[in-house]
Structure 1
Amino acid sequence: MAVLRNTGLIEAPLATVGAALRHTRTAEAGLAALGIRGEALTRADSLLVPGDELAFRLAGLSLTTRIVRADADRLSSVLVGGPLRRLEHDTVLAQVGPRTLLTDSVRWTTPLGPLGRVGDVVLGRKLVLDVLAARVRAVRELAESWASRPVVVGTALVHEGRLLAQQRGYPAAHAGRWELPGGRVEPGETESDAVVRECREELDVEVRPTGRLGTDVPLDNGMLLRIHTAELVDAGQVPRAVEHREVRWLTAADLPALDWLDTDRVLLHHLRELLR
């Protein structure tokens, strides 16, 4: 099995780099300069989630890969269609001060026979190295362009193994759909402060932030959605729908049944893991 790796430092937080790594633009436009046509088969202009598939075409060669992991610090895919016997792509992120270190690795096995071996040595390795370099450039460009965006916090509020979601009453385009509590971080406010304030305003409860969840999510309004986890300060408090139509406590099994806003739907696999 052939194995190749590449690394790169990116001037952006890990959660923002993770979002750029998951974005379909990285898979599609990022490789166009090499003559590689990439296409997301299961969603368009969004963040990849486990189960999504990508098709790549170059000089008559077609490969289809499937996302198997899309963690905050890792994205992994495997081959599900194409002439190779095996192909695994794994990208790991690590925070290094204010920057993020991206480590890309590809493992593959060519078909048996001399032509397969020649293709592996002469063509495959150079192509893979070019692809990995182009991938780092694409992720860096996207993540660094997002890094200075204002932040909207979302709150994954968990109590007794259940997650709180709220249903929008307005605007008309979003009415009836579900989302996590949250809102914009105000000037002079920390993200944790914004989590506490937004839950007080929207749910009439006091919460305690406990950590971070998933990658950032780029919004159409030029902001970044960043999810924090939280718990009730007083377990006896009952959240109520102050600004929304309804609030509801959900188990992991309940999550797929709701009509989530698109920005929240790409986080459902993270929310399932949180509830486990």
Structure 2
Amino acid sequence: MSTERALDVVAAVVLRDGLVFAARRSPEKAQGGKWEFPGGKIEPGETARAALMREIKEELGVQLSVRRHFATSTTQVDDLKIRLRCFLADFVDGEPVESADHDLLRWVPSEELVELDWAPADLPAVALLSTQG
């Protein structure tokens, strides 16, 4: 009998001059070494946009301006069903230089996104960004 769990998460897709902001999970974290769009869990009673702004401030130490919804996907990872809502967003008070959850932050040309080892939940958004160029 399956004890499947569901997780609602949000992520920021930040674009600049044909580049996409990506973050690699620190080795000691779940999905360590995998690339992702930064973000995190939606807390009870929190809107997706509010969760995203809070998570980016906590993880990356910068303010985020959320523009619009980009993509939503559901991915099964072991016994966990991850519903990821990605939003196009901008950093508004400088770019992040360090992260509480990541060991590497990088601006990646959109055509090179597929070369990174992405967390499974982020792959649908990566595919969308790669086809849009």
TM-score band by shorter chain is 0.7 to 0.9
Matched, 1:213 2:70: yes
- List structure 1 runs of 4+ shifted beyond 3 angstroms: 170-173
Whose RCO is larger (CA < 8 A, sep 6+)? 2
Aligned-residue offset at 1:217: 2.0
Higher helix share: 1
| Structure 2: gaps (5+ residues) | 1-5
CA distance in 1, matches of 2:39, 2:115: 21
Aligned-residue offset at 1:172: 6.7
Q: Is the alpha carbon distance of 1:223 and 1:176 closer, same or farther for their aligned partners in structure 2, counting shifts above 3 Å?
A: closer
CA distance in 1, matches of 2:121, 2:75: 8
CA distance in 1, matches of 2:92, 2:47: 19
Counterpart of 1:225 (choices 81, 84, 91) is: 84
Q: What is aligned with 1:40?
A: none
SS at match of 1:259: coil
Give the number of equivalent residue pairs.
125
Q: What is aligned with 2:103?
A: 245
Counterpart of 2:117 (choices 241, 250, 259) is: 259
Q: Normalized against structure 1, the TM-score is what?
A: 0.41
CA distance in 1, matches of 2:101, 2:7: 23
Q: How does 1:58-97 map to 2 (within 5 A)?
A: none
Higher strand share: 2
Aligned-residue offset at 1:254: 2.0
The sequence identity of aligned pairs, in percent, is 32
Contact 2:72 2:83 in 1 (8 A): no
Q: Which has the larger radius of gyration?
A: 1
SS at match of 2:102: coil
Counterpart of 2:49 (choices 192, 207, 220) is: 192
CA distance in 1, matches of 2:55, 2:99: 12
Q: What is aligned with 2:11?
A: 154
SS at match of 1:187: coil
Aligned-pair RMSD on alpha carbons? 2.1
Q: How does 1:93-242 map to 2 (within 5 A)?
A: 151-171=8-28, 174-220=31-77, 221-234=80-93, 237-239=94-96, 240-242=98-100
Aligned-residue offset at 1:229: 1.2
CA distance in 1, matches of 2:30, 2:101: 16
Q: Is the alpha carbon distance of 1:195 and 1:273 closer, same or farther for their aligned partners in structure 2, counting shifts above 3 Å?
A: farther
Q: Normalized against structure 2, the TM-score is what?
A: 0.81
